[in-house]
Amino acid sequence: MHHFGVEVSWKVPTGKTEMEFRDMQCEEDRIVSSVSIHTYTHAEGTVNLHFVSFSEDTVIVTGFGPFGDHKINASWETVKLLPSLNIEEEFGVKLIIHEIPVTYDYVAENVPMLWKEHEPMLVVHVGVSSLASGLTLEVQAHRSGYCRQDTQGKVPPRNEISSGKAEVIQPLFDVEDVCKAVHKSNIRVPTCCSADAGRYLCEFTYFTSLNIDNLRTAFIHVPVLNKPYSAADLAEGIKAILRVLIQQLRARQQDNCLNNDVCSVKSV
C-alpha cells in the first residue's frame, strides 16, 4: 500500500449533518482507499479533510520450500494454488504469494523486507506439520528456543530472534472465532487452534512477523499432502480462513471509522 497525505474539500450534502457526512464516507463497497481524518474545519458548508489514503489492500501469503523429509512442501504446493481461486476479485485485495527457503538467515533478512516493500494489510504464513490433521491456526510464537538446524546447518545466534523483546507474542486476531467461522463455511478440511508452532522455521517466521505487526499477522499449519487432503482441498480451506481474517480486519476498520479515525469498509 502506498500512503500519501492530501487535503481535500467536499460540500456537505443538503440536509446532512457533518457527522452524517463523515459516516457516509465509510460506506464504500471496496476498500481501495481508506481515510484517516486528522483535521477538519467548517467553512460555508464545506468540510476540509486531511487524510491518508491507501491505494490498495495487499495480502501476502507465504509457503516454505523443501526441507528434511518434505521434499515437496505441502505449504508451498497449497499456497501456489491460491491465485487461481479468484481471491483478488472476491475479496477486493491484491494477493502476493512468496516461497520462503527453510533458513533462518533468509527469514531474518527477507520477511521484514516483504513488510517494508508491500506494506500489506495482512500477512499469512503457511507451513507444513506432520502432526497436523487439518488446518491449524497458531495462537502464539516464541522468541527463543530455536535449536534445530535449518537446511544450511545453521541455528540463530543464542538460539533466539535478536529483533524481539517479548518472549511470546500472540496475534490480535480472535483465532478461536476464526476457527468457528471457518467451520460454518462447510469446507472439507477441519480447522483447529494450536499453541505450539514447533520452534523451527515456522515459528521463527511467525514471531518475526508478529514482532513487526501482530494486528495483521497469522500462521496456518497444513498437514502432509494426500493424507487425506489434496493441495486443492487445503487451498480452499486457506481461502476460507483468509475471508474470515479479512472480515475481522475490516470490521476493526469500521469500528475505527465510527470513532472518526479510519474510514474503510468491505464485505466479503
What are the chain's domains? Answer: 3-55 (no CATH), 58-248 (3.40.630.20)
Interatomic CA distance for residues 220 and 27, integer angstroms: 32
Asked if residue 35 lies in contact with residue 23, where contact means CB atoms within 8 angstroms, the answer is: no
Active site residue 3: no
Asked if residue 32 lies in contact with residue 55, where contact means CB atoms within 8 angstroms, the answer is: yes
Q: Which of 159, 60, 142, 150 is nearest to 105 (CA)?
A: 150
Active site residue 26: no
Looking at 77, 125, 221, 263, which residue is catalytic? 221
Peptide bond into 13 cis (omega under 30): no
- Predicted pLDDT at 7: 38
pTM to 2 decimals? 0.78
CA dihedral 198→73→64→215, nearest 10 degrees, is -60
Looking at 202, 203, 236, 263, which residue is catalytic? 202
Banded model confidence at residue 109, pLDDT cuts 50, 70, 90: very high
Active site residue 138: yes
Q: Which residue has the cell 487461481?
A: 84
Looking at 138, 203, 236, 257, which residue is catalytic? 138
Asked if residue 248 lies in contact with residue 229, where contact means CB atoms within 8 angstroms, the answer is: no
Model pLDDT for residues 147-190, shown as the tens digit of each residue: 999 999 999 999 999 987 899 999 999 999 999 999 888 899 99
Interatomic CA distance for residues 23 and 18, integer angstroms: 9
Strand, helix or coil for residue 230: coil
